[in-house]
Amino acid sequence: MDEKLYTIPLRDAFSSPRTKRTKKAVNVVRNYLKKHTKVDDVKIDTSLNEFLWEKGIRKPPRRVKVRVVEEDGMMVAYLVE
């Protein structure tokens, strides 16, 4: 089982309109992990998703620390606590 830690900057989400920022942040996380792990199937854990949506759709965090684990040929991203 392979495990890696990443700090993902979410600055690209802030170029989106206010009402779409957290949706964009979720896509930024997914695309970042696809690029860096070279795997197309990336799952976002519930804890990470709730952290991104914690302040609502208008104010996602500026960066997020993620622990990525390989499970059955797909990558699962968990929030680092």
pLDDT tens for each residue of 25-78: 999 999 999 999 999 999 999 999 999 999 999 999 999 999 999 998 899 999
List C-alpha distances in Å: 65 to 17, 52, 74, 80.
Answer: 24, 11, 19, 6
What are the sequence ranges of the domains in the chain?
3-79
* pTM of the model as a whole: 0.92
For residues 6-33, one letter each, b for 16 or more C-beta atoms within 10 angstroms of the residue's C-beta and e for the rest, the string is: bebebeebeebeeeebbebbbebbeebb
Per CATH, the homologous superfamily of domain 3-79 is Ribosomal protein L31 (3.10.440.10)
pLDDT surpassing 60 at residue 1? no
